[in-house]
Amino acid sequence: MTEEKELVRVEEITFAYDSVPVLEEVSFSISQGDFLAILGPNGSGKTTLIKVILGLLKPSQGRILIMGQPIEAFREWSKIGYVPQKATHFDPFFPASVKEAVAMAFLSPKKRSAQRRKDEERAMEAALESVGMEAYRNWPIGSLSGGQQQRVFIARAIINSPELLFLDEPTTGVDAATQEHFYEMLHLLNKGQRITIILVTHDVGIVNKHVNKVACLNQKLVYHGSHDDFCQSEAFKALARGGHLVSHKH
């Protein structure tokens, strides 16, 4: 078996809000093709870790390498897709159609060549089709359900054909049936389009069914490794005992 390319390296990351420590000396790496779940109780630093990896927060110590480059020097942002934790908490009256919400991620100037317009249109249709939202392309984004909005935001995140997709608690407030479809879609993106996925979640059901790697966080990294080993680990038992994990049938 060939060694997969390393896409993210997290080295000795420490972060504090004012003087309250949130992350302490966290180190691990993410390889191409991984479907990694980041698990941990509330306040364990999962969202902070994602934000540090993406350069949205500056750590007090340690460094992040993305595709071999320090985050400060990294410029190939189109290779990264991100759906934040509160993506669906936008103003419901924001005047944007599904197409406009997805096209935002192109970031190109308003004036574009005819060929570029065609390419963008094709990429947009493909992204919407990947998430099963092509029929809603002209709907106002605020009129969709939470689950549908998350699909649109994933379409936005994958429109530039990223290598890495970060999802922060994407199924919060979404019913179990919709979650199942949602995770199947992520599975297809991971296996079919070879997109490396990093997913922050509380849902151990998704961990059992789709992911191949787990990082378990509680300020410090308490576990990082394969999913199979995780289920036998002390970290898993501790999380399950503390009621920090939820399980949905998938």
Partner 1 sequence: MEALFTYGFLQRALLAGVFVAIACAILGVFLLLRRDAMIGHGLAHVTFGGVALGLFLNILPLGTALVVAILASLAIMKLKEKAGLHGDTAIGIFSSAGMALGIALATLAGRFNVDLLSYLFGDILAIEPLEVWLSIGLAGAVVIVILLNYRKLMYLTFDRDAAKASGVKTERFDILLTVLTAITVVLGMKVVGILLVTALLVIPAAAGLQVAARFKQALFLSCAVSFISVLVGLSAAFVFDLPASATIVLLAFVIFGVFFLGRRKKFF
Q: Which stretch binds partner 1 (CB under 8 A): 1-9, 22-30, 81-89, 235-243?
A: 81-89
Q: Least CB distance from residue 89 to partner 1, whole Å? A: 10
Number of other CB atoms surrounding residue 12 within 10 Å = 12
Q: Least CB distance from residue 99 to partner 1, whole Å? A: 9
Task: Give, as ranges, the residues between 4 and 63 that touch partner 1 (CB under 8 A).
Answer: 51, 54-56
Q: Which stretch binds partner 1 (CB under 8 A): 4-12, 61-69, 103-111, 205-213?
A: 103-111
Pairing relation of β-strands 220-226 and 164-168? unpaired
Q: Least CB distance from residue 108 to partner 1, whole Å? A: 7
Q: Is residue 80 part of the contact set for partner 1 (CB under 8 A)?
A: yes
Distance CA 51, CA 201 (A): 15
**Residue 211: half-sphere exposure toward Cβ, Cα within 13 Å:** 28
Q: Which is nearer to partner 1, 156 or 227 (CB)?
A: 156
The site string for partner 1 over 108-147 (x = CB under 8 A, - otherwise) reads xxxx----------------------------x-------
CB-based contacts of 226-234 (< 8 A; 24+ apart in sequence): 227/37
Judged by CB under 8 A, how many residues of this single chain contact partner 1? Answer: 35
Among 35, 136, 166, 182, binds partner 1 (CB under 8 A): 166
Q: Is residue 153 part of the contact set for partner 1 (CB under 8 A)?
A: yes
Distance CA 106, CA 31 (A): 26
Give Cα separations from 53 to 67, 83, 84, 102 (angstroms).
Answer: 12, 14, 13, 23
Q: Least CB distance from residue 177 to partner 1, whole Å? A: 26
Which amino acid makes up residue 130? S
Sign, Cα dihedral of 187, 188, 191, 193: negative
**How far from the centroid of its chain's Cα atoms is residue 105's Cα?**
15
Q: Which is nearer to partner 1, 139 or 238 (CB)?
A: 139
Distance CA 34, CA 224 (A): 13
The answer to whether the beta carbons of residues 40 and 24 sit under 8 Å apart is no
Look-up of token digits 């599904």: 98
Q: Which stretch binds partner 1 (CB under 8 A): 37-45, 106-114, 124-132, 181-189?
A: 106-114
Q: Is residue 96 part of the contact set for partner 1 (CB under 8 A)?
A: yes
Q: Least CB distance from residue 13 to partner 1, whole Å? A: 17
Q: Least CB distance from residue 109 to partner 1, whole Å? A: 6
Distance CA 91, CA 68 (A): 37
Binding site for partner 1 (CB under 8 A): 51, 54-56, 75, 77-78, 80, 82-84, 87, 90-91, 93-97, 100-101, 103-111, 140, 153, 156-157, 166
